[in-house]
Amino acid sequence: MEEFRLELTQKNVEAAYDSVNLVNELNSKETLTEEETRRKEANIQHLKIMMDKPEFVVLLTKAQKTEIETLEKYRDWETDRKSTRLNSSHSAKSRMPSSA
C-alpha cells in the first residue's frame, strides 16, 4: 500500500511539473489569449493545491520547491499589479452619496 501511495505521489510530482512547464511557457509570451490566461491560472491553482499536501512536498527537491513557490508568487504579484493598475485608472467617484 505504501509503495502504491509513493508511486501515486511521484506521478503527482510529474503532473505538477507539467503545470510548471506550461506556466513557464505562457510566462515567456508577451501577450496571452483569454484561454491561455485561464489555463495559466488553473495550473498555478493546481500547484497551490499540491503544495498544501505534505506527502507531495516531501518528494520535491529544494530547487523544485523554489521554482513552484516562485510561480505562485508571480501569480499573486501579477494579480496585485493588475488590481493596482485598474484601481489607479478609475476615478474615486462613489456610486452613492456618503450620507446614504
21 vs 76: which has the higher pLDDT: 21
What is the pLDDT confidence band of residue 100, given thresholds at 50, 70 and 90? low
What does the alpha-carbon distance between residue 72 and residue 67 come to, in Å, rounded to a whole number? 9
Q: State pLDDT tens for residues 26-38.
A: 999 999 999 999 9
* Average pLDDT score over residue span 3-25: 82
Q: Are 37 and 80 in contact (CB under 8 A)?
A: no
Query: Does residue 47 register a pLDDT over 60?
Result: yes
Q: pLDDT at position 56, please?
A: 86
- Does the structure show a pLDDT above 90 at 5? no
Cα-trace Rg, the chain: 19
Average of per-residue pLDDT values in the chain: 76
